Amino acid sequence: MGPLIWFIATLVPLLVLVRWVHQHLLELTFLLTAHKESTIYIYAVLLLPGVALHELSHYIAAIFLGVRVYQVSLRPTVRRDRSVRLGFVRMRQPDAGSRSRSNPPPPFLAVGYK
């Protein structure tokens, strides 16, 4: 089997497992607290290291690309659609120069012909 098939064959079950773990973590926390707001904050604290690392990667990428960062937040919020937002990095929309640095051309365009 090729590497792409192995990648897809492992990615799909992993995504299902991650969703299952998050759902059951929320349910267990709610059973222990019986309070929606407490459930969200405990969930956020348990996932804080991963969320902080994720948002830090966005922040570093923005700085590296010269994009101005306005706000970094690790405070959980509940959106109108009832989804939970655990953190975000608010930044200026990148200009054409930084966009081209973040989206390099496909490798086949960079290969020269003799």
pLDDT band at 28 (very low <50, low <70, confident <90, very high): very high
Q: Is 68 left (phi over 0), alpha (psi -120 to 50) or beta?
A: beta
pLDDT tens-place string over residues 96-112: 655 555 555 555 444 44
Residue 53: CB partners within 8 Å, gap ≥ 6? Answer: none
Three-state DSSP string of 84-97: EECCEEEECCCCHH
Residue 44: CB partners within 8 Å, gap ≥ 6? Answer: 51, 75, 76, 84, 86
pLDDT tens-place string over residues 55-99: 999 999 988 888 899 999 999 988 899 888 999 999 987 666 555
Q: In the prediction, which pLDDT does 110 show? A: 47
What does pTM read for this prediction? 0.69
